[in-house]
Structure 1
Amino acid sequence: MASVDYRSLAADILKEVGGEENVSSAVHCATRLRLRLKDESLANTETIEKLPGVITVMKAGGQYQVVVGDNVPRVFAELGKISRFGTEDAQEDAPAKGNLFNRFIDMVSGIFTPMLWPLAGSGLFKAFLTMATTFGWAQPTDQTYVILSAAADALFYFLPVFLAVTAARRFKANQFTAMAVAAALVYPSIIALAADGKPVHFAGIPVVMMSYTSSVIPIIVAVWLLGYLERFLQQILPSAIRNFLVPLLSIAIMVPLTLMTVGPVTTFISTGISHGVSAIFGFAPWLAGAIMGGLWQVFVLFGLHWGFVPLMANDLATLHYSIMFGPVVPAVLAQAAAMLAVALRSKSAKRREVAAPAALSGFLAGVTEPGIYGVNLPLKKPFYFGIAGGAIGGAIAGMGGSAATAFVFPSLLSLPAFSQVGSFAVLMIGVLAAVLIAFLLTFFFGPREQADDAVTAAAPAAPVATPGSVTVLAPVSGAVVALADVQDKVFASGAMGAGVGIVPEEDAVYSPVSGTVKAAMKTGHAYGIKSDDGVEVLVHIGIDTVQMKGEGFAPAVARGDRVEAGQLLATVDRAKVLEAGYDTTTLMVVTNTKDLTAVVPLGAGRLTHGVPALDVEL
């Protein structure tokens, strides 16, 4: 495969399946391009099978599958350069199955994942600046502080622009066009129109303005629509003018459309909620406090919190305090407490590295975005436990009449702003209750993630191989199936190499060799490992499980990682795989079999993970 021209191969495949216009979608798994064709009769299958680098072609599950082998990511990358079918990131981040709310959470978390570290760093930066002003080490009017504040706050202020990039990857829109739409939403003159409060019209149509700085949902919705608009324009516009007219029309349509739809809808909903909560404070402060404390982070997630800002600001201007602020403190600190519990409880070093600084920025600066999108939302339960703690703590704060006398980010360092109105002692009880509830529930009942480099103690060490041979271990425990008998045409034919199938009896999958992970699908269903001796092993969990889009799979390693024989690769919920209608058989093949002297299966009947399964003669 080293001599294969992958750009030419991608172009030839695209041509022989009937051209780009005959392809509805294109993704890839560990070994094959998976195309959905509008008309399969237009595909020249015999010609494709003869292309250099193609192993075979198979049709299954409504897909036209071109089997390429380990180098399929390179072919797919080249396909993305010559067609509209996106990039590696776009296809690997496909939405998971499940109920609508879970899919929404998975989508938002996936969009935020690439920027988690900058978010965590900026949040911590803001926490340190808040601490500096609280203790009098710096003044907000100092020029040095202004510059540092801009550096710390820029990512949050221009968050829609950053989200446009990752959302465009997911929704297969042009990244730079998406950024242009996002930038227009936070353009100074647009911000000024929103702040001015005067009626705004576009072509005679009234436009309800709102601030889009730091917002999340509006740009995600806008980019989602942008993807459809771009694909429509690509199909109807002549090729001679398509390159410049598609972005021109996309920007010209999407910016006014977003301002005229997202703005009014968001403003209407948020204003209604804020006035409703404000009315409840009048006759049932504990109930209003529970709503504010429990749902504040949900409001922030959807950008609905902006509806409360004018009421809070008006209260501060007229009454010199705002009672709506009080329950927000437990809400924020409860989510930070859940992050702290994850940082202490999770066995995943990668998760802890995000959770710890995110918790610190939440406690000290009231900045919860890094932890919400990188920890609590992806794990779900910590987010729910934070809501529970915030609701109870908010109800207590509401009963105490706690209010803020300044417009601040609710945090530990801003607590002095809540000491003048209402019962500060009751507020502290509410904060403590919120923190303890969120922390203890997450610590004891939250998800217990596996260690990133977990090695099973029960797995026996690989035997010392004789000179010129390598022993490949069983990745799972279970009944052995001859490769020729597995329910997958490509693997059964031996086209991918010699190996073995095992029907697993457990949910953990382990590395069969010591070496480097050369391929790790983010869907968690397949891993390619090159051993220290040059043996290339593919571990494929289940048959056709790429269709599950990662649901039920929990990867423990990533591409480029060093692994030892017996180290955990992933865990899989076999019940979900079976429920989805897929075969759980784990396939292990040596993909460079043709370069080796022999690959001989060693076991029959049943194997335990970690025992020899294949003998490879170099």
Structure 2
Amino acid sequence: MADYAKTAQGVLAGVGGEENVTSLVHCMTRLRFVLKDESKADSAALKAVPGVITTAQAGGQYQVVIGNDVPEVFAEIGKISSFGGGEGGEAEEAKGNLFNRFITMISSIFTPVLWALAGTGLLKAFLSAAATFGWIDTESSTYVVLYALSDAFINFLPMALAITAARYFKASEWTSFAIAGAMMYPTITAAVGVEGLTFFGVPFTMVSYVSSVIPIIIIVWLQSHAEKVLYAKLPGAIRRFVTPMIVVLIGVPLVFVVIGPISDFLSSGLGNGVGWVFDVAPWAGGAIMGGLWQVFVIFGLHWGLVPLFQLEFQTTGQMLLIAPVFAAVLAQAAAVAGVWVRAKDPKRKSLAAPATLSGFLAGITEPAIYGLNLPLKRPFAFGIVGGAIGGAIIAMGDVFSTAFVVPSGLAVTALLGNGSMVFLFLGLAVAIVVAFGLTVIVGFDEPVEEDAAPAAPNTANDVAVMSPLDGTAVPLSEVDDPVFGGGALGKGVAIRPRSGALYAPFDGTVVAAFPTGHAFGLRHADGTELLIHVGLDTVKLNGEHFTVAVTSGQEVRAGDLLVEFETAAIEEAGFDLITPVIVTNGELYPEISGPAAGPVGHGDPLFTAVSVDSLVTTN
């Protein structure tokens, strides 16, 4: 069973600790960090954390790919930090160029609602299939109830987005909800298309806000700025109820008279433009979506297309854009199935099996892409080829969806009866056969030592770790901290220092040297990764009483000075200076031998990190 707590601890340490995190949200498969200093994130160490598939940097975010278990890891991070815990989390407004900020905004606003949107969409797809094949009477009360519960969420989507947008823009959630409620109010929806409407003499045409996206996001953004001004200007005795009154009084008419009609015009233009492309050259649109979708996923850019699906649906009542994505997803699943068949390495086969099932059934392709297809190169390329051809065929059949679903084998029901079923199943079959066939027939270069982490190419050698301090060596269990003392980060030894100098325990590289001087990550040439944490909670000193002598990325030799610290001043400030020395890549060095006990001087043997190969040989 996966240890989500250990994964969370390793991830938080790998990104530079809580103090290096500006914000954290999660999407369907990855944790999305905005870091204060991305250079402090250790990608090699993160990839070695159990449960982490890989890392990526895109859209102004540092992304840690987890896969299907990302909500559980996110929740565990919330238990050990001030971030995480809620579904999707809350984000600081993104920084960087306009495109990065847009991607981050869309990701943060849509992530919390996607699972509910996808789940009810899948139910609607099954119901549509049942009606198409005559398995249910569309005049029955059963059908009416099922349709209502499958269609309600997407129908009232603006009300859900009001909450998530308010969290992102830091506006009042319930004021945003009140605005969205007015947009969806029955007498308002009944006035859609009615001519001669005026507001204090200003003529306007009511547009439909059912399933809309843009108007609510724009008005909540404006709301957030208005609330800041009103809270600053209004007297404290009245601001809490007068502010929402003014915001709703101004915001709702602003939507009806200005924002709604403009966004409807733009949405209609976009929807018609998509329709035009798929009318004039459907194969081109399908090939682009089917071929490039998984490339967009790698860089997190697919979030920019999610609102387009919804806008197209709002305008035309159907989603042509999403249909070719089914070919893209199933092609990558087929490519990793080819790896499963073709690979010789048993571990690679064991990784390919669940990745294949996850891709085909749930449409979650990150384990396949990052774990196998992309590292092996050719399978990923074959998946792109299969997806492009299959997507082109599907688009030529005018296949569309009437529900937002996560493209997968199970969700194909969303496409049944919508367009040419011959082209649909032909496109899916071609995507699968091409990707699977090319992977099996053409093959791929299979590395001999794929199991070794990039930073640890030689796991056969045990590594002697010298004491980095003058002091007294004690068992790790004596550290009064559940993470260190409980061994959550790995095995090792703790030292109670008797002098204020920390030295390199072996020849290697300084992976992380915190400017505060309280912690260092080092990597031996043979692969052992070590964390040395000077004292408990000493990060709170913010570098006071520490003088750092090295920088991240610097090569050091055993005995080189890493940091000097004032022991008396630190202890007088109320901090415990006990220093854990821990092997953090336990999957490669699962045991230590010969741990020292009692007085040690820097350079004396502290323990030996025992490699997994040594244990296999011994056993």
Return the TM-score normalized by structure 2: 0.49
Return the TM-score normalized by structure 1: 0.49
